């Protein structure tokens, strides 16, 4: 899908946080942003060793959503895992 590739290219070229926030506000509904944010949070929780059941209870979501994230983090070449590792490395500085 060409539009997907276009969006990915555009997103990778945005290096201003305020501009990216504006793009998110204009492209996505508040619910879509909340869903993406929740997905990122549960991936961080999994990375930090929180259990799937605890995460499901904490955010009132199904185990299926969490299991998908868990599988992604277990992949050796996971881009999301690399992002999360980088995120936590930056926080330690």
Where in the sequence is the domain holding 37, given as residue range(s)?
29-93
Share the mean pLDDT of the chain.
92
Q: pLDDT tens for residues 23-43?
A: 999 999 999 999 999 999 999
Show the DSSP H helices in the chain as ranges.
2-13, 17-27, 30-47, 52-59, 63-74, 79-92
Residue 14 covered by a domain:
no
Residue 9 covered by a domain:
no
Give the chain's domain count.
Answer: 1
Residue 35 covered by a domain:
yes
Residue 91 covered by a domain:
yes
CA atoms within 13 A on the CB side of 71: 6
The pLDDT of residue 91 is above 70: no
Residue 24 covered by a domain:
no
| Closest-CA residue to 39 (of 8, 78, 70) | 70
**pLDDT for the residue 3:** 92
């Amino acid at each position: 899908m060409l539009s997907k590739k276009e969006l990915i290219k555009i997103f990778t070229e945005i290096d201003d946080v305020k501009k990216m926030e504006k793009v998110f506000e204009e492209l996505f509904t508040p619910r879509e942003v909340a869903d993406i944010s929740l997905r990122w949070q549960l991936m961080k929780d999994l990375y930090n060793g929180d259990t799937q059941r605890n995460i499901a209870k904490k955010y009132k979501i199904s185990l299926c959503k969490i299991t998908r994230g868990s599988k992604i983090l277990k992949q050796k070449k996971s881009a999301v895992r690399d992002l999360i590792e980088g995120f936590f490395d930056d926080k330690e500085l």
